[in-house]
Amino acid sequence: MAKAPSFKCSACAAQFTKWSGRCENCGEWNTISEEKALSSGPASKSLGARRGKSLVLTDLATQEEPPARTLSGVGELDRVLGGGLVEASALLVGGDPGIGKSTLLLQAAARFARNGLKVIYVSGEEAAGQVRMRAQRLGLTKSPVHLAAETNLRDILTTLEEENPDLCIIDSIQTMWADNVEAAPGSVSQVRAAAHELTSFAKRKGIAVVMVGHVTKEGQIAGPRVVEHMVDTVLYFEGERGHPFRILRAVKNRFGPADEIGVFEMTGKGLAEVKNPSALFLSERGKPTAGSVVFAGIEGSRPMLCEFQALVAPSPHSQPRRTVVGWDGGRLAMILAVLEARAGVPFIGLDVYLNVAGGMRVSEPAADLAVAAALVSAREDAALPAECVVFGEISLSGGLRPAAQTENRLKEAEKLGFTQAIAAQAAKQQGSTSLTLKQMPDLATFVTQVFGER
Ligand code: TYD
Ligand code: MG
């Protein structure tokens, strides 16, 4: 029988069957220690040696009361939460340092407190005075939020036990320190232990716990995603530095739809809700320019328009540049290859830059056609008509697949004054809007119809 791994690296969580001084996985020294097995006695003995207690089994048909929810009153936040904050739940809010997580959660804490919840905000990064100063700037000083500046998890849990709040915010999980774990704060073992303690505390006591998590350079919440598995809901707070727009995105939600987004704007007085994101993301658009294309997208449950901008220029490098912001780099390479192979538009020797305006990040495959349109438009130096939106997925064969929720996309475009849409050919006729809908069977037809015979 293979020996179960019982040694673990406290830096990267890799598991080994034997001890060594240096972790083979991450190269750190003196981070490997033995993990104690669940059963008493040596690890080689089976679990059966000691009897556990029997579990209480219930039927699937047993009716459960839906969990109680509280609305914050901030529509953009409540929607991402799936209709408000759920009691006895654990949430993780991840994002780059400085993106506005503390600001968002302090504002949310104040809202929930005003709506009658008892809220405790624990900051492990800032002193209570600093948090109070921020609250002053945000105009929240009258909100009955309880503050603490602490990193010792044992003291925090004791306080929570005594105070029994409805909501506790931990800012951030990387600063928390559990004294029963021998590792530095911020290490995988500490983050995992702290998140585990807080999550089980939330379930046991019926309170909602929100943990802030800083994201590492690779875009992961430190602690190889262990925290993501533990909690009920994972929200990411995204945005580009230099742009005021921030997007709160649900990437996992046990109590509501994932992929839902909320849009905020960072102002001098904190985060403001953006009720009409399409109008905002298109606000900087001037008259039609080559390389600019408006994509009619869907984010979660609602339509959202945004602008793709492409620039194509002769490359001085032997390996031309491909630079993307707000869209997947691999997907761009695929679209460039399909344009060349199936529509006869080569990009050899050309640098390609692609950007989504306003700091928005798009991941829908339906944006393929808008990206292709922006690339060809930039390359040919020919603008698309100003009042035109584009959407549709491109397959490797050069065919176009219709996107879901076509009608919602068209309605949003109509609302914002667009008169034309270019999309894939759909089997059934789409509902009625005043837009002229041009349906294309494949990429080659799209290129010749829009940019002329080549
Ligand atoms: P913060 O919430 O501290 O970020 P995080 O907790 O994710 O690290 O936000 C920091 C940035 O937000 C900082 O650069 C200043 C800016 N900011 C505003 O523009 N307006 C405001 O009202 C506040 C409080 C912060
Ligand atoms: Mg912070």
Whose C-alpha lies nearest to ligand 1, atom 23?
270
Q: Looking at residue 92, which CATH number applies to its domain?
A: 3.40.50.300
Q: Identify whether residues 214 and 354 lie together within a single domain.
A: no
Is 32 domain-assigned?
yes
Which ligand 1 atom sits closest to the C-alpha of 237?
Answer: 7
Q: Identify whether residues 23 and 106 lie together within a single domain.
A: no
Count the alpha carbons within 13 Å of 179 in the hemisphere toward its beta carbon: 7
For the ranges 30-34, 224-228, 276-280, 354-358, the one whose mean pLDDT is highest: 354-358
Which of 274, 294, 315 corresponds to the end of one domain?
Answer: 274
Q: Identify whether residues 112 and 143 lie together within a single domain.
A: yes
The Cα-based distances of 273 to 30, 276, 296, 356 in angstroms read 48, 9, 21, 21
Q: Identify whether residues 231 and 374 lie together within a single domain.
A: no
Q: Pocket of ligand 1, candidates 102, 103, 211, 265: which has the most ligand atoms within 8 Å of its Cβ, to mutate?
A: 103
Domain of 7 in residue numbering reads as 1-36
Q: Identify whether residues 154 and 284 lie together within a single domain.
A: no
Cα separation, 398 vs 396, whole angstroms? 5
Which of 242, 257, 274 corresponds to the end of one domain?
Answer: 274
Q: Looking at residue 415, which CATH number applies to its domain?
A: 3.30.230.10
Is 60 domain-assigned?
no
- Asked whether 332 and 371 are in contact (CB, 8 A), the reply is yes
Whose C-alpha lies nearest to ligand 1, atom 8?
98
Q: Identify whether residues 347 and 375 lie together within a single domain.
A: yes
**Distance of CA 140 from the midpoint of ligand 1 (Å):** 15
pLDDT above 90 coverage of the chain, percent:
60
268 lines ligand 1 (CB under 6 A): yes
pLDDT of 310: 97
Q: Identify whether residues 2 and 108 lie together within a single domain.
A: no
How many domains would you assign to the chain? 3
94 lines ligand 1 (CB under 6 A): no
Q: Identify whether residues 288 and 409 lie together within a single domain.
A: yes
Q: Identify whether residues 116 and 238 lie together within a single domain.
A: yes
pLDDT of 205: 93
Whose C-alpha lies nearest to ligand 1, atom 12?
100
Amino acid type, 231: V
- The pTM for the full model equals 0.80
424 band by pLDDT with thresholds 50, 70 and 90 = very high
429 band by pLDDT with thresholds 50, 70 and 90 = low
Assign residue 51 a region (left: φ > 0; alpha: ψ between -120 and 50; beta: otherwise): beta
Is 48 domain-assigned?
no
Which ligand 1 atom sits closest to the C-alpha of 138?
Answer: 22
Q: Please name every residue paired with 299 in a beta bridge, in sequence order, or none if there are none.
A: 302
Whose C-alpha lies nearest to ligand 1, atom 1?
100
pLDDT at 326 over 70: yes
97 lines ligand 1 (CB under 6 A): yes
pLDDT above 70 coverage of the chain, percent:
92
Which of 242, 274, 306 corresponds to the end of one domain?
Answer: 274
Q: Identify whether residues 318 and 397 lie together within a single domain.
A: yes
Is 402 domain-assigned?
yes
